[in-house]
Structure 1
């Protein structure tokens, strides 16, 4: 695309529906941790859904869908392809505005487990099950599993929206949850996008024959949104002399993609400097002329092209050279082609018809992100990488794009290269065709690949910023494996802790993972995840996690590993937090103390160490030392009982076993 704004629909780089169709958005990730505050996956998902809501126009039948959602917590959406059914499903879930639970896209048969698993649903979750492209056998299996999933949804006060296949059948017992939607009025969708582009309504209420002809074809909703974006860019390029009908004419012409014109232009411009300028202008479209100049020169160096020895003053100036390729410089120095979307056609031509140069184009892209020019911004770098990624994805090379991101992450550690690697991998992960396979590749890398250079940081960022907002369970497993491999700094563990704060279900799931097959590398992770404050805070759930039998079992196993394998100075701060929480949480005091004692078993040395830790925690206890002393006495009673003594007859604390040191 020539110009980008807040709602851009450029190269496939994000499963966000910009309007009542399936559109993509540019993934803006890559800033280092010190450059911006960490945003939670829940916030990222909310921002994405808000964008969809703003661009959404209710299709016919949306009122029925809302009533079914509110009455039954389940909606099965049916609509023709291109009607905006996926966006409608997302809006239905976004409108709930629940304080508890998270938005998630379910992947049947994936890592999350079967739809019949009751632990699949968390309290207040908003679940999207998109089966629009499911085959006959998969749809039949999903219909069988829907009853169990609906039961879990009801029990957890969650909500579920299913997008069914257009040709799919639905049994009579599922018909009460079905809502049929038809495409909204095309002109209303078009005008909604123009309003979001801040175009005054008096400008677009005029009749435009090109628009009428386009809408008469009943294009998919995503095409309507793209047409509106082209009108916005045509208006930005020619705001004074042209009017709305002419902007629509330009938008219609841009749909031709200019391929024949570009082929003729490249055939005429045989000199390497002019072709380099043409390619740089297309890839850096909208950038300052200085950036275009440096980019063209860099491409010539990348290809080892001999320098022109002619005197500089005898050569053509930048304005003449740009004119020869159908481009010009605006008032602010930004370079653009005269024809709308011409830059996209140029990129396609160079990529498709010069395959031997593709690797050089990738090398040039990385080098361009590091050009030393004040006009090169983060957004420009991100657009550049997105445009290159779009060519990889358009031509079916999603895996090659991921490997390119890996190659860039292994390069010398510069901020620009790190950002480029993150952006490239994010584009691949967000593509609807390659997302699932690349998430599997990321899993393999997190588990066993040698994490050289910036690769660990790149994987961390795409897990938190790209995978977690819609597939938090998959992000959890990948961050868990990254956290296992950390030595000194713990950014992956910090991100993992942030992720589980968004959902009690995720904390329960991770506790189970950490204790099902105890591993020494999981002990530090357990101590962070098994946070007593989070375990005793019910939030908006019926009860806190600490009251669940499965969670209690995980806590006991995990603490047993801690107490039997770590030295007391390392686990004592965590026990102190545990005891201090018991001081402040009267309702769960005994439960917290019992779990610690159960984890120690009958080991006198460990029980004695727990008692000494409690004594040491008394001065800093919430409520004062007296409160801490009371907790210590209660712990002592439970220790005595565990040793087979009656609390009333136990007058001294247990002594460590001979030879025991901790």
Structure 2
């Protein structure tokens, strides 16, 4: 065994090459932006916005005190009262920098039972939204709530349960139940308008709207309609006119669109109508080019009229009740006309659905001074809206997969990510989309650049509220990826946010076959710094029996199955950390020795390899070679003890090349 190991890797999360010859790494189209918000930032932004618009309902103060006193609160209240928003805002108030936000989904793939204590990490914020649960689902959850609450208490975590209204609750849990009553509708509307920058005035339209019982969602949507009405209104229009326009838009315009579409018999007219509906508010140049592209996609024959004899864009737009504004952007005359047009074509011309997806994929690749990421995302969202509105979430997911096949531009890949994001955020289809993504990550053959689309969706969308689901989807992607480490890096980043997630991944790896692909995951995940960092309760992962067993199994497989050049950079980090972490450093060394001691017929070779790695690590030690040499001596002592040797000498099998001893 030679000690002349000279590899040095500071952050071994990218492809590593330590042998002879060339290294070929296929990266493909880069999807990630260096300034792209992480999933934590996205989740925080959403919760910040939610807190801004939330009007505290009756009972929220009591819920806040109950959560502070016991760590658990069970919210009850009629549908539309804002129970789920209250739950999320309450949990946001307990974001103290430890743990993660986690929405519990006990019936889904790779989700632990509510009674499993491994579900709760130190300082976690847990939401169990059962507001739409059936009687059977609620009964199953109730049976586990006491065990879940106990784990929450032990981990200094916080749990908010939203129970289905009108269902029973066990006597021992009644203490945690708080009734939420809807806040005043006018106050809610005023709050939303204020956040939108719209000044409220008492008008009959609002009085009539609020005279009926309205859910918090309906009020929020109406406030948004008022905001959008103001944005397209003339400078001389008043708040009352904005509200009247919003009320007309809310009542729907489907009959008007049906009549208009029947009058427009020519293909170019209908193409312009549909294009503007899909790209509403875009610049006139964008609308013109996209209309031509739609006609080409539908293989419509070109116009045979001389160019100067054709209708200009302004005339054609007037035929569909639209016009170009002073800034060059195009709008329909009536608010939400575009939504009604999209719904009409989707519902009444089903043969358009497939080519519409092809057209959107081509349109997002357009460039120009008026084409932005926001414009592309809006186009994708409007297409996704139709799929989801009509219960076709699976077709939307398949469309995103098709967009990602080779060759796929960055814009098309971003469109695929945005389409899946729309599906994941849909209340009715989100669960199914998460399941399809799991099947892709774990079992399906992925074509083109679809794998990196899934990596981004898992890391930036699913992880924001369902980190465990993101963890195992990224695990499967990392296990199967070749010639790239995108999924592995995303997985490493995710477990860095929570010791509980790191523990779950180590446990999963221990229960796997620990193939070479899984060992490539194990090595960066067993970073010694987070393993030795104490929690708020003063304990570290390396001190937990379960984690030590997982780590020992992993290192045993590494020492038996991987060449030293591959694992030495990671062992080097363990040895350097062991130099400066006191008794936890001894635990790191103990674990390495225990792993080598379990290598059966390769036991002696494993000990020799560890010793040689320690000698090599002395030369790169950040604390100096003298302190590193003491760590090597400690390691040698532990190896000698494991071998049953009575004195601290270097066994012949460990003597480095050249015969020298430390």
Q: Does the pair score TM above 0.5?
A: yes
Residue number in structure 2 paired with 1:262? 257
Partners of 1:604 and 1:657 within 8 A in 2: no
SS at match of 2:133: coil
Structure 2 gap segments, 5+ residues each: 1-28, 657-662
Residue number in structure 2 paired with 1:381? 376
Cα deviations across residues 246-305 of structure 1 (Å, max 9, x unaligned)?
Answer: 111001000122111111111111111111110001000000011111111111111111
Partners of 1:257 and 1:344 within 8 A in 2: no
Residue number in structure 2 paired with 1:65? 63
Residue number in structure 2 paired with 1:114? 113
Q: How does 1:3-152 map to 2 (within 5 A)?
A: 32-37=30-35, 39-110=37-108, 111-152=110-151
SS at match of 1:407: helix
The alpha-carbon deviation at position 330 of structure 1 amounts to 1.1
SS at match of 1:453: coil
Choose 114-123 or 188-197, whichever is displaced more: 188-197
Residue number in structure 2 paired with 1:16? none
Residue number in structure 2 paired with 1:607? 607
Q: How does 1:284-363 map to 2 (within 5 A)?
A: 284-363=279-358
Cα deviations across residues 35-88 of structure 1 (Å, max 9, x unaligned)?
Answer: 333544333222221121111110111110001000010000001001101101
TM-score, normalised to structure 1's length? 0.92
The alpha-carbon deviation at position 167 of structure 1 amounts to 1.3
| Distance of aligned partners of 1:198 and 1:239 in 2 relative to their CA distance in 1, 3 Å threshold | farther
SS at match of 1:468: helix
| Distance of aligned partners of 1:270 and 1:180 in 2 relative to their CA distance in 1, 3 Å threshold | same
CA distance in structure 1 between the partners assigned to 2:321 and 2:168 by the alignment: 53
Residue number in structure 2 paired with 1:490? 485
CA distance in structure 1 between the partners assigned to 2:285 and 2:72 by the alignment: 56
CA distance in structure 2 between the partners assigned to 1:239 and 1:276 by the alignment: 28
Q: How does 1:539-618 map to 2 (within 5 A)?
A: 539-601=535-597, 603-618=603-618
Partners of 1:42 and 1:502 within 8 A in 2: no
Residue number in structure 1 paired with 2:659? none
CA distance in structure 1 between the partners assigned to 2:585 and 2:529 by the alignment: 12
CA distance in structure 2 between the partners assigned to 1:299 and 1:650 by the alignment: 80
The alpha-carbon deviation at position 109 of structure 1 amounts to 2.8
CA distance in structure 2 between the partners assigned to 1:138 and 1:352 by the alignment: 34
Residue number in structure 2 paired with 1:529? 525
SS at match of 2:464: coil
Partners of 2:31 and 2:414 within 8 A in 1: no
The alpha-carbon deviation at position 331 of structure 1 amounts to 1.3
CA distance in structure 2 between the partners assigned to 1:585 and 1:392 by the alignment: 55
Work out which of the residue numbers 471, 477, 497 in structure 2 matches 1:476: 471
CA distance in structure 2 between the partners assigned to 1:420 and 1:229 by the alignment: 25
Partners of 1:369 and 1:416 within 8 A in 2: yes
CA distance in structure 1 between the partners assigned to 2:30 and 2:76 by the alignment: 43
Q: How does 1:216-235 map to 2 (within 5 A)?
A: 216-235=211-230
Choose 607-616 or 370-379, whichever is displaced more: 370-379
| Distance of aligned partners of 1:554 and 1:302 in 2 relative to their CA distance in 1, 3 Å threshold | same
The alpha-carbon deviation at position 32 of structure 1 amounts to 4.7
SS at match of 1:255: helix
The alpha-carbon deviation at position 554 of structure 1 amounts to 0.5
CA distance in structure 2 between the partners assigned to 1:584 and 1:345 by the alignment: 66
Partners of 2:323 and 2:332 within 8 A in 1: yes
| Distance of aligned partners of 1:163 and 1:417 in 2 relative to their CA distance in 1, 3 Å threshold | same
Partners of 1:42 and 1:103 within 8 A in 2: no
The alpha-carbon deviation at position 457 of structure 1 amounts to 0.9
SS at match of 2:165: coil
Partners of 2:205 and 2:240 within 8 A in 1: yes
CA distance in structure 1 between the partners assigned to 2:572 and 2:190 by the alignment: 60
CA distance in structure 1 between the partners assigned to 2:41 and 2:497 by the alignment: 10
Choose 363-372 or 463-472, whichever is displaced more: 363-372
| Distance of aligned partners of 1:286 and 1:411 in 2 relative to their CA distance in 1, 3 Å threshold | farther
| Distance of aligned partners of 1:433 and 1:32 in 2 relative to their CA distance in 1, 3 Å threshold | farther
Choose 497-506 or 169-178, whichever is displaced more: 169-178
Q: How does 1:235-246 map to 2 (within 5 A)?
A: 235-246=230-241
Residue number in structure 1 paired with 2:17? none
Cα deviations across residues 148-188 of structure 1 (Å, max 9, x unaligned)?
Answer: 00000000000000000111111222111111111111111
The alpha-carbon deviation at position 371 of structure 1 amounts to 2.3
Q: Which has the higher contact order (CA 8 A, sep 6+)?
A: 2
SS at match of 1:179: strand
| RMSD (CA atoms) | 1.5
Cα deviations across residues 452-487 of structure 1 (Å, max 9, x unaligned)?
Answer: 211111111111111111111111111111111222
SS at match of 2:225: helix
CA distance in structure 1 between the partners assigned to 2:652 and 2:196 by the alignment: 73
SS at match of 2:579: helix
Residue number in structure 2 paired with 1:8? none
SS at match of 1:584: coil
Cα deviations across residues 80-127 of structure 1 (Å, max 9, x unaligned)?
Answer: 001101101101101112110110100123322111101110000000
Partners of 1:64 and 1:179 within 8 A in 2: yes
Choose 407-416 or 115-124, whichever is displaced more: 407-416
Work out which of the residue numbers 265, 276, 280 in structure 2 matches 1:281: 276
Q: Which consecutive segments of 4 or more residues in structure 1 shift more than 4 A?
A: 31-34
CA distance in structure 2 between the partners assigned to 1:38 and 1:531 by the alignment: 25
Structure 1 gap segments, 5+ residues each: 1-30
The alpha-carbon deviation at position 435 of structure 1 amounts to 1.4
TM-score, normalised to structure 2's length? 0.92
CA distance in structure 2 between the partners assigned to 1:552 and 1:174 by the alignment: 36
The alpha-carbon deviation at position 519 of structure 1 amounts to 2.4
Partners of 1:611 and 1:653 within 8 A in 2: no
